[in-house]
Amino acid sequence: MLEQEFNAGALHVLRKAVLACAMAAGMPEGRATDVMIVTHELAANAVRYGGGRGRLSVWIAAGAMHCQVTDPGIAGFDGKPPAGTASRGPAVTRGPPPWPYRPGHGLWPPTTSPP
């Protein structure tokens, strides 16, 4: 239904495309707006924390609309580090930080209240 790469300058285009997809899928305007807002939040986080760009895929399966946002993170979409970066060995994983870990995150998990 939609396959689109994005960066910070293209988030407004992404919002319009998602809203159009949701409306074309037959969602009421309020629900389509909700889908657009959530997708924008995911895409904005991909830009901010995932390498400055990302990819959105939207499809319909089993009567449901699916939205997937991916970002290159440290490695690019092809699994290789971005040009000009050096490998420093394996990362040390200490588990997820306590919630909330930094100001500015947008959506809270269903079981967590806003700070």
Q: What is the pLDDT of residues 64-84, one digit of tens each?
A: 999 999 988 765 555 555 555
pTM of the model: 0.64
Domain layout of the chain by residue ranges: 2-70
CB 66 within 8 A of CB 59: yes
Q: Taking 90 as the threshold, does the pLDDT of residue 32 lie above it?
A: yes
Report the C-alpha gap between 57 and 70 in whole angstroms: 9
Q: Report whether CATH 3.30.565.10 matches the domain 2-70.
A: yes
